[in-house]
Amino acid sequence: MNKQRPAKQEQGYILLLTLIVLVVLLFGVLFVTRGNLLQTVMTGNTLQRQKDVQVGDLALRQIQQAIIQTACGGYPNTCNSLQNTAQGQTWFPMTDAASAMPWTGNFPTQTFWANCQSQQTCDTLAHIQSSVLASVSPKPAVLPGAANILAVVVPASLPQDASPCYLIAPNGASAPADRTPKYYEIFLNIREANGQTGVSTTNVFKLCTVNQP
């Protein structure tokens, strides 16, 4: 009886060692699987962000087009300021660069973007397309997720630009003109379908106007 105990103990050690190896292998498989999943998620997020940036560039052009359509009515040489032409537009909630911004800080916060529609201090690109750009020809491209793209335009508090405004002649030539340059900041928020923010962008737009309010 006593002579068989070492053999049983040895079998017990082998079984314990086997279990330890299996546990280590299991953790190794889980670690590799987790790493692959994280890599897939990171790659997906990177691709989604690149897509959001591209959509943001196209959306910015359409907002610039909406500014020109609102201020100029299709006639770029007779533009008025947005302070005179965009009153009542939710995407242009302020009329004075000296007024307090509808957000805290220098840039719109996530709190602002989350509440601006209900507070009527921003608008969706989809609504701007169907209202301001409805009469534009050719029609602007329909962007994916336009209902999730929020835009707000505010007067920019910038010093006067020394460079002159230009008039465009029928033959396409341009010449300096007696116009007042107005500057506006465009802020865009492109939200992903899951509700998370993909990209927030900003741009300064120069508008040459025939009047100065």
Check residues 37 and 72 and name the one with the higher pLDDT: 72
Tokens 């000296």, located at residue = 98
Nearest to 107 by CA among 160, 75, 152, 43: 152
Separation of alpha carbons 204 and 213, rounded Å: 20
What range defines the domain where residue 193 resides?
2-209
Q: What is the model's pLDDT at position 45?
A: 54
Closest CA to 81 of 171, 155, 7: 155
In the block, which residue shows the tokens 């509440």? 115
Greatest mean pLDDT among 34-43, 59-68, 93-102, 156-165 lies in 59-68
Give the Cα separation of 81 and 212 in Å (integer): 7
Angle at 42 between CA 37 and CA 46, to 5 degrees: 150
Q: Indicate the number of domains in the chain.
A: 1
Q: What is the pTM of this model?
A: 0.71
Where are the strands (E) in 71-170, listed by range? Answer: 123-124, 149-155, 165-168
3-state SS of 13-30? HHHHHHHHHHHHHHHHHH
Confidence bin at 1 (pLDDT 50/70/90) = very low
pLDDT surpassing 50 at residue 114 = yes
